[in-house]
Amino acid sequence: MTDTGFDASILSEFRTRLVQGEIEAFALDRLLEHCQARDLLRAGGEQRTDSTHVLGAVRQVNRLELLGETLRAALNELAQEEGAWLQSITPPAWFERYAHRVEECRLPRSKSGRQAYLQELAHDGYALLDALERHPRGHALKSLPGVALLRQVWDQQCQRGARGIRAREIDEQPPGATRLQSPY
């Protein structure tokens, strides 16, 4: 409990010993062999060291999970209130698409696949919101917490206009502090 840890200068001393012993290349080669054995590196592949593309990919996956889970939560809540009506208005594909949590499903790997899935989620959410507008008890159903959250997330993340439905760009969304990050 009283150990103060190590001083940062120890790391620079270790680096100096590696360089003086001319074994830095040996250590790097061992690390690369270890990564290749675990399929973390491929011969001739492009390796990136900046984090911009990683952050962008994480942001897109988080967005897909937010939209998918928000829609799934609203569907589950509506199924308890108006199960027969919900079953009558939903396409059969929805039962498979929204049966499981999004993080338990395999999201598309390609950028175009993720974009298509995003469009599909946006269309499905607006289709549900439109169906609620036509429902005789629509006002009561729209006040359910999950449905109200669906509308709020769709207002923040999606846009419906003359050119159809699209996902909002980052600069079109509310500031991060006010933007919803999870339906739960």
pLDDT digits (tens, 9 = 90+) for 55-100: 666 777 888 899 999 999 999 999 999 999 999 999 999 988 898 8
Q: How many helices (H) and strands (E) does the chain have?
A: 7, 2
**Inter-helix orientation angle 52-89/111-134, to 10°:** 30
Nearest to 114 by CA among 67, 71, 73: 67
Q: What percent of the chain has pLDDT over 70?
A: 90
pLDDT for 53 equals 66
* Predicted confidence (pLDDT) per residue in 137-162, tens digit: 888 899 999 999 999 999 999 998 88
Chain position carrying tokens 């999004």: 102
Every domain of the chain and the residues it spans:
9-41, 60-172
Note whether 138 and 132 are within 8 A (CB).
yes
Share of the chain above pLDDT 90, in %: 33
Judge whether residue 133 has pLDDT over 90.
yes
State if pTM tops 0.85. Answer: no
Q: How far apart are CA 21 and CA 19, in angstroms?
A: 5
Q: What is the token pair recorded at 116? A: 């298509």
